[in-house]
């Protein structure tokens, strides 16, 4: 083995360039089986973020089913989900640009040009499910002034006629028809709730053209229902957090029973429609994934006895479970050491059937996560994943401890997961330690843990990020004088707020971070328009709280260097929020940098901008922590800074 090069933490030479990080962003999702073919979605940054539908033939060949510029992506709730379905070798999908439903037929194995099924309109479609010669779906109608109207519809496969199925609630999801075609199940919820707070589970009669006599069979304002699905025998499965944990239940003609209850999460926040954490193997068995102590697990559950058989796998996260009707389940699976793949799970075996992108790092370069729990404010406990600096070719001078980069996830009702993430490995291969924090309000630890953030966004998340960083410093893993933090959107809010209201971190990086909560409350889209009421309060009634927790209103309290990354076309966080903060910090004499990306909105989709942001953040932290990155990086203008 070659002798290790001695270099300061942060200045290590890494084979993982920013170009490689950006190029590896192609994503796999939503596997589905029809006949003898496997289908999936593939997001492609090199095609301007287009989502393609790919079909695998029995001989292993893969076919692109949509010609450019067709893009299988729904805009319901803005986050979409459930954008395609397949039946009898015909694909039905929502096209991003016009939100119409199209169908794709095949001549032998060659896809024919997409044909529009629905008429041009102001409607958006999502959560597609095919049964009884209809596409059952969520509809979001933007045709009238004010908020869009959400409802359920059934679209006839024969002529594209859109039949109304259910309306009256603010939101809907999971329209699913029973196997005998007589009952329709779905969930609904109303402002100010989000689907992870309180939803209602309905079962209605279906006569082939309309739904009638809908009855609420579970849920409420304080119970979250997730993924109702019918079994072949006509029982309705669903996930509920009525006992604090999202667990599986079975409903049968008014009788409800819990299946294999445990302190683990079988559900997740419904940011995208159609999310799936279990699938039916047969009439009495399901394959399910749950989160326990932050890690994803896979198990088979006997619905009759409640017996659980855990599968021993090398994977740490599982998404988009989908049954083939023949005893197998397909899913997107992830590990801590390799990119996401599509796997077939059958008879307790996990077989990779579609590899993701080639791994950008060999095993010796990969920092694997350590799940940590640490004490925080009020005697509570918070969680995170710690990644140590990892580079087989470099070591730091004796006695030096690494800088720590704390990552604050978005949402904020979301979670950091222990998966192979090149955005993290970029830092660890250069000598940074990374803490991916699951602050109070994150998912995966029960409803009570999620509710720690209720009314206290901008307090609990800040405290937990600070305590996590200090815990690692006190443990001796990191340099307590070189703590920095980063986040985007809601995570960017936590980043800016912790720099304004706490004195723990020495540098920060905000990616399109929310800095004015009042503006967010007034301008965001319908799905999240009342979300902030549970996190902060009602606006304008609680304006004083909004002002007190908005970093933009407290720029005089900043003393910590910050770099801002902002899209010029961002409507969620307009550029002027960042620019006002930058100007105030310049006037205070605080080191500050600002990169504005033309043509970008809330999040950076262009490869060159994603690359520039990653490298510029490294350059900025190098300046603040007095090391020179090994990478050739275009310098960043840092106001109020000279070395």
- What does the alpha-carbon distance between residue 334 and residue 481 come to, in Å, rounded to a whole number? 34
Examine residue 365 and state whether it is found in any structural domain, yes or no.
yes
Question: What is the average pLDDT across 597-624?
Answer: 92
- What does the alpha-carbon distance between residue 125 and residue 151 come to, in Å, rounded to a whole number? 10
- What does the alpha-carbon distance between residue 238 and residue 150 come to, in Å, rounded to a whole number? 22
Question: What is the average pLDDT across 251-271?
Answer: 96
Examine residue 104 and state whether it is found in any structural domain, yes or no.
no
- For 348-399, how does the pLDDT look when each residue is reduced to its tens digit (9 = 90+)? 999 999 988 777 799 899 999 999 999 999 999 999 999 999 999 999 999 9
Boundaries of domain holding 330: 276-359
Confidence bin at 35 (pLDDT 50/70/90): very high
| 404 lies in the same domain as 374 | yes
| 285 lies in the same domain as 382 | no
Q: Kindly tell me if the per-residue pLDDT of 74 is higher than 70.
A: yes
Q: In the chain, what percentage of residues exceed pLDDT 70?
A: 99
| 346 lies in the same domain as 371 | no
pTM metric for this prediction: 0.96
Of 359, 380, 411, the residue that ends a domain is 359
Confidence bin at 570 (pLDDT 50/70/90): confident
Question: What is the average pLDDT across 504-521?
Answer: 94
Q: Kindly tell me if the per-residue pLDDT of 638 is higher than 90.
A: yes
| 434 lies in the same domain as 534 | yes
Examine residue 410 and state whether it is found in any structural domain, yes or no.
yes
- What does the alpha-carbon distance between residue 469 and residue 473 come to, in Å, rounded to a whole number? 6
| 515 lies in the same domain as 455 | yes
Q: What is the pLDDT of residue 607?
A: 83
Calculate helix-pair angle for 460-475, 490-501, nearest 10 degrees.
Answer: 70
Confidence bin at 500 (pLDDT 50/70/90): very high
| 431 lies in the same domain as 326 | no
Q: Which strands, in side-by-side order, build the sheet including 225-230?
A: 225-230, 236-240, 247-252, 255-259
- For 425-454, how does the pLDDT look when each residue is reduced to its tens digit (9 = 90+)? 999 999 999 999 999 999 999 999 999 999
CATH number of the structural domain spanning residue 583:
3.40.50.1820
The total number of structural domains in the chain stands at 2
Question: What is the average pLDDT across 332-348?
Answer: 96
| 477 lies in the same domain as 346 | no
| 287 lies in the same domain as 329 | yes
Residue indicated by tokens 């005998």: 180
- For 59-72, how does the pLDDT look when each residue is reduced to its tens digit (9 = 90+)? 999 999 999 999 99
Q: What is the pLDDT of residue 475?
A: 98
| 295 lies in the same domain as 366 | no
Question: What is the average pLDDT across 106-119?
Answer: 97
Examine residue 642 and state whether it is found in any structural domain, yes or no.
no
Confidence bin at 2 (pLDDT 50/70/90): low
Examine residue 170 and state whether it is found in any structural domain, yes or no.
no
- For 169-208, how does the pLDDT look when each residue is reduced to its tens digit (9 = 90+)? 999 999 999 999 999 999 999 999 999 999 999 999 999 9
Average pLDDT, the chain: 96
Question: What is the average pLDDT across 240-257?
Answer: 97
Q: Give the per-residue SS3 of 1-47.
A: CCCCEECCCCCCCCCCCHHHHHHCCCEEEEEEEECCEEEEEEEEHHH
Of 321, 337, 359, the residue that ends a domain is 359
Examine residue 206 and state whether it is found in any structural domain, yes or no.
no
Q: What is the pLDDT of residue 603?
A: 84
Question: What is the average pLDDT across 281-305?
Answer: 97
| 475 lies in the same domain as 429 | yes
Of 320, 338, 359, the residue that ends a domain is 359
| 399 lies in the same domain as 312 | no
Q: What is the pLDDT of residue 1?
A: 53
């Amino acid at each position: 083995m070659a002798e290790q090069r001695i270099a300061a933490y942060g200045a290590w030479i890494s084979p993982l360039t920013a170009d490689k990080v950006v190029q590896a962003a192609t994503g796999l999702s939503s596997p589905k089986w029809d006949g003898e073919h496997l289908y999936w979605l593939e997001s492609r940054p090199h095609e301007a973020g287009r989502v393609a539908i790919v079909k695998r033939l029995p001989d292993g060949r893969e076919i692109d089913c949509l010609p450019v510029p067709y893009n299988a992506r729904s805009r319901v709730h803005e986050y979409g989900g459930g954008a395609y379905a397949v039946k009898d070798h015909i694909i039905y999908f929502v096209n991003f640009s016009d939100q119409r439903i199209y169908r794709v037929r095949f001549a032998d194995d060659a896809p024919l040009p997409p044909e529009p099924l629905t008429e041009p309109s102001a409607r958006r479609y999502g959560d597609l499910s095919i049964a009884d010669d209809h596409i059952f779906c969520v509809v979001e109608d933007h045709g009238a002034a004010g908020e869009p109207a959400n409802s359920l519809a059934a679209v006839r496969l024969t002529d594209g006629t859109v039949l109304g199925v259910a309306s009256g609630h603010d939101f809907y999801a999971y329209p699913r028809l029973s196997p005998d075609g007589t009952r329709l199940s779905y969930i609904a919820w109303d402002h100010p709730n989000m689907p992870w707070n309180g939803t209602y589970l309905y079962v209605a009669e279906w006569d082939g053209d309309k739904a009638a006599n809908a009855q609420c069979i579970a849920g409420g304002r304080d119970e979250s229902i997730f993924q109702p699905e019918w079994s072949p025998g006509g029982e309705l499965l669903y996930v509920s957090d009525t006992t604090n944990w999202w667990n599986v239940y079975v409903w049968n003609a008014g009788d409800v029973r819990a299946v294999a209850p445990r302190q683990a999460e079988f559900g997740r926040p419904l940011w995208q429609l159609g999310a799936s954490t279990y699938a039916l193997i047969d009439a009495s068995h399901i394959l399910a994934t749950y989160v326990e102590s932050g890690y994803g697990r896979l198990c088979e559950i006997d619905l009759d006895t409640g017996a659980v058989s855990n599968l021993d796998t090398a994977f740490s996260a599982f998404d988009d479970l989908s049954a083939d009707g023949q005893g197998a389940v397909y899913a997107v699976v992830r590990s801590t050491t390799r990119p996401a793949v599509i796997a077939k799970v059958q008879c307790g075996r996990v077989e990779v059937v579609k590899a993701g992108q080639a791994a950008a790092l060999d095993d010796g370069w990969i920092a694997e996560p350590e799940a940590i729990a640490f004490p925080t404010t009020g005697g509570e406990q918070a969680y995170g994943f710690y990644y140590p600096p990892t580079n087989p070719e470099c070591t730091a001078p004796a006695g030096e401890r690494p800088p720590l980069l704390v990552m604050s996830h978005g949402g904020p009702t979301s979670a950091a997961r222990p998966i192979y993430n090149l955005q993290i490995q970029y830092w660890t291969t250069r000598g940074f330690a990374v803490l991916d924090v699951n602050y109070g309000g994150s998912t995966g630890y029960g409803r009570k843990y999620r509710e720690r953030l209720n009314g206290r966004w901008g307090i609990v998340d800040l405290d937990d990020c600070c305590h996590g960083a200090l815990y690692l410093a006190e443990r001796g893993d990191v340099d307590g004088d070189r703590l920095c933090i980063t986040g985007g959107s809601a995570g960017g809010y936590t980043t800016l707020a912790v720099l304004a209201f706490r004195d723990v971190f020495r540098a920060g990086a905000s990616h399109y971070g929310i800095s004015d909560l009042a503006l967010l409350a007034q301008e965001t889209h319908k799905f999240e328009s009342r979300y902030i009421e549970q996190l902060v309060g009602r606006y304008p009634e609680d304006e004083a709280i909004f002002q007190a927790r908005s970093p933009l209103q407290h720029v005089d309290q900043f003393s910590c260097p910050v770099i801002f990354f902002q899209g010029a076309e961002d409507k969620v966080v307009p550029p002027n929020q960042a620019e006002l903060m930058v100007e105030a910090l310049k006037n205070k004499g605080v080191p500050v940098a600002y990169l504005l990306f033309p043509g970008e909105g809330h999040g950076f989709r262009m490869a060159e901008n994603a690359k520039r942001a990653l490298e510029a953040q490294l350059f900025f932290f190098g300046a603040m922590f007095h090391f020179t990155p090994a990478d050739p990086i275009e310098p960043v203008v840092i106001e109020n800074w000279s070395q």
